[in-house]
Amino acid sequence: MEKNTSKKHNVYTSEEEKTLNWNDVQTSFKETFGSEVYNSWLQKISLMKEYNDYLILGVPTRFFRDWIVSRYLDKILAKVKEFKLSLNRIEFKIIEEKQNQELLKINELNKVTEIKDSILNYNRLNPHLNFENFVQGKSNDIALSYSKKVCEHISRYNPLYICGGVGLGKTHLLNAIGLELQNENNVMYISAERFMYHFIKSIKKNDMVNFKDFFRKSSVFIIDDIQFISGKESLQEEFFHTFNSLMDKGSQIIISCDRAPMKLDRVQDRIKSRLAGGLVVDIESPDIELKVKILKKKILEVQNQFKENIVLSDEVINYIASESKTNIRELIGVLNRVIAFSRVHKKDLNITDCKNILKDVFNQIRVITVDKIQNVVSNYFNIALSEMLSQRRSRPLARPRQIAMYLAKKMTSRSLPEIGRRFANRDHTTVIHAVKTITRLSHQDDEMKKNIAQIKSLLLEQ
């Protein structure tokens, strides 16, 4: 029974059956993941507790845990399953370097992080957003080809800065680069918003050393939506240092942004010039040809995925492509709607059906903007727009402001931070709060329900 005597790792096994030899598992990690990944990460994981169907593994820091979870959790689980088939879950616990077995009191196990529904899954690269699924067109040709070149020659174009409007494929490209490079490199992929979240958390926890280490360790650092740092001085400071230290050690940096570096608002000049210091490529709005290509590719994907035949005539496809706006995310949304309809009605759609289905969709997409919502809402409540956007917190201003934020979230494709910025640069958490408040009130309060319905119909009418 006691097979674990030779373990050099910090092992604390339960009364349950002990079957894992952690040394063997570690050896297999090294073979599977390669020695670089093994030495910097996996080696430091210790087995703390073993149950029949799950393991508790110890890791040195929170960042370490986040990193492992986002990048290796699935593979680690698959690997340990090879040793013990009944395992189906892994939990992580953060242990101090020198913490010994006695400290592992039962009550501490309550603090164990349940990975299953944890927010820590954020940092995963999405396997579908790869190069293969990215359709090339005139508008993204340059961005695509340099994204691929970066994968071939790390640090040649450094930083690579990809800019373009919402829904045009920036995140997709960043993801594809990450996927391509992750096997050979220490890839860190994070949105600027998440970067800030970690930053603030580590300030609060007085854990800046780990924060710095964690991000500076990567050999490929990918940061999405850098415009988010606008107006956030201390975040910019930290980003600047991270950036410099990564560049110094020759790490590849890839950045996305909704605009060109020099057009960034309230961002330090020295950062802007760093951002612009490598290669800047932009993605433009797709032309009809690209939109048609993307639609056809998506139809094929759905067909393969669901093993069903989807018949949409070229006429229908062209109609969707020509009527939809430039945002590719919306284009795909529209297509999904058409496919859903044809599924429900079990028929091949003709152009008239299609026009009918999409009338509402296109109208909404066309008409509703954050500006428009702000105007309609402030008119509706008879307050000045400037007051609605001001910092004043009195209820007669705060409620309309919250309603406008709520509608902006519900009726446009803007992200929470983007909406926040449009409301006199409020934080995205303020927007989240507004959305929650109004959602709740519109269920509880008939007056609120009525107001929202009327404002919506005003918006849709215009």
Binding residues for ligand ADP (CB under 6 A): 129, 133-135, 140, 164, 166-172, 294, 328-329, 332
Interacting residues with Mg ion between 245 and 264 (CB under 5 A): none
| Contact indicator for 94, 60 with CB cutoff of 8 Å | yes
CB 338 within 8 A of CB 354: yes
172/401 with CB nearer ligand ADP: 172
The total number of residues shown for the chain amounts to 462
Instruction: Tell me the closest approach of the beta carbon of residue 442 to ligand ADP, in angstroms.
Output: 29
Query: Taking the complex as a whole, how short is the minimal distance between the CB of residue 197 and Mg ion, in angstroms?
Result: 17
Residues with Cβ within 8 Å of 180's Cβ and at least 6 positions away in sequence, in order, are: 130, 131, 148, 151
The region, left, alpha or beta by phi > 0 then psi within -120 to 50, assigned to residue 154 is: beta
Q: How far is the CB of 415 from Mg ion (least distance, A)?
A: 8
Nearer to ligand ADP, 50 or 225 (CB): 225
Should residue 140 be labelled a site residue for Mg ion when binding is judged by CB under 5 A? no
Question: At its nearest, how many Å lie between ligand ADP and the CB of residue 133?
Answer: 6
CB-nearer residue toward ligand ADP: 403 or 408:
408
- Comparing CB distances to ligand ADP, the nearer of 238 and 330 is 330
- Cα gap 461→276, rounded to integer Å: 43
- Give 171 or 412: the residue with its C-beta nearer to Mg ion: 171
Residue 58 interface partner, choices Mg ion, ligand ADP, none, CB cut-off 5-8 Å depending on type: none
Alpha carbon distances (Å) from 389 to 229, 261, 424, 442: 21, 27, 6, 22
Residue sitting closest to ligand ADP (CB): 169
From the list ligand ADP, Mg ion, none, partner contacted by residue 328 (C-beta under 5 to 8 A by kind): ligand ADP
Please choose which of Mg ion, ligand ADP, none residue 400 contacts, taking the beta carbon within 5 to 8 angstroms, the exact cut-off set by kind.
Answer: none
* Interstrand relation of 279-283 and 252-257 (parallel, antiparallel or unpaired): unpaired
Q: Which is nearer to ligand ADP, 209 or 300 (CB)?
A: 300
- The answer to whether 40 and 75 are in contact (CB under 8 A) is no
Binders in 104-123 for Mg ion, by CB under 5 A = none
- 158: contact with Mg ion by CB under 5 A: no
Q: Mark the segment that binds Mg ion (CB under 5 A) among 66-74, 163-171, 337-345, 442-450.
A: 163-171
Cβ-based nearer residue to Mg ion, 170 or 298: 170
Compare residues 87 and 144 and give the one whose CB is closer to ligand ADP: 144
Cβ burial, residue 116 (10 Å; 0-12/13-18/19+) = exposed
**Least Å distance between CB 167 and ligand ADP?**
5
User: What minimum distance in Å lies between the beta carbon of 168 and Mg ion?
Assistant: 9
Closest residue to bound Mg ion by CB: 171
List Cα–Cα distances, 23 to 8, 9, 35, 46, in angstroms.
Answer: 8, 8, 15, 10
- Please, what is the minimum distance in Å from the beta carbon of residue 348 to ligand ADP? 24
**Selected range binding Mg ion among 23-31, 168-176, 289-297, 318-326, rule: CB under 5 A:** 168-176
The number of angstroms, rounded, from the C-alpha of 164 to the middle of its chain's C-alpha atoms is 17
Q: Which residue in 26, 139, 147, 171 binds Mg ion (CB under 5 A)?
A: 171
Quick one: what does residue 62 bind among ligand ADP, Mg ion, none, with the CB cut-off 5 to 8 Å set by partner type? none
Shortest spacing between CB 187 and Mg ion, in angstroms:
17
Residue with smaller CB distance to ligand ADP, 52 or 336: 336
409 binds, among Mg ion, ligand ADP, none (CB under 5 to 8 A by kind): none
Q: Select from Mg ion, ligand ADP, none the partner in contact with residue 194, using the beta carbon and a kind-dependent cut-off of 5 to 8 Å.
A: none
Report the residue number, 167 or 400, with the smaller CB distance to ligand ADP. Answer: 167
Give me 254's structure tokens.
């890839």
Least Cβ distance, residue 149 to Mg ion (angstroms): 21
In the complex with ligand ADP, which residue's Cβ is closer, 175 or 236?
A: 175
421 binds, among Mg ion, ligand ADP, none (CB under 5 to 8 A by kind): none
Interface residues toward Mg ion, by CB under 5 A: 170-171
